[in-house]
Amino acid sequence: MAYGACCGRYIDAGLQPETAEQLMRSRYSAYVLVREDYLLRTWHVSTRPDTLNLESTRSGKWLGLRILRTEGGGRQDREGVVEFVARYKPPGQAERLHEVSRFVREDGQWLYVNGDILPS
């Protein structure tokens, strides 16, 4: 799917993802594009850091995202879980990030809360 149809409408045009999975996909794209503004804007205030250190993402390459499962996170839900694997190649050997992420919807906006990183 093209960036504009998938994630650009959220990252660049300011539309709100309707599901937790759409938010997860757009946040992955924001990491690829090094868009700290979007990542922080879509992070729940209770767990959001002041800044992100995205320097390592500038020198490497994101290789893909695979959604393994979702729980809740639909248009009518207040909470959701998305399990995913993201592949990334910093200078050197490629790595995998396997995470179970938690999301909440507040005032119609899905927000990333936190996640558990699983062994690859």
pLDDT at 88: 92
Gap between the Cα atoms of 82 and 91, Å rounded: 28
H or E element, residue 37: helix 36-41
Handedness of CA 78, 62, 10, 67 (dihedral sign): negative
According to the model, what pLDDT value does residue 64 have? 95
Q: What is the pLDDT of residues 64-94, one digit of tens each?
A: 999 999 999 999 999 999 999 999 998 888 8
Q: Check residue 82 and give left, alpha or beta (phi > 0: left; psi -120 to 50: alpha).
A: beta
Residue 91 has a pLDDT of 81
pLDDT value of position 60: 83
Under CATH, which architecture does the 3-118 domain have? Roll (3.10)
Task: Please say whether the beta carbons of 20 and 38 come within 8 A.
Answer: no
- Whether this model's pTM surpasses 0.75: yes
pLDDT of residue 77: 98
What is the average pLDDT across 12-35?
96
Q: State both tokens at 76.
A: 């009518």
For the chain, the domains span 3-118
Closest by CA position to 89, among listed 116, 119, 57: 57
State which H helix or E strand residue 33 sits in. helix 20-33
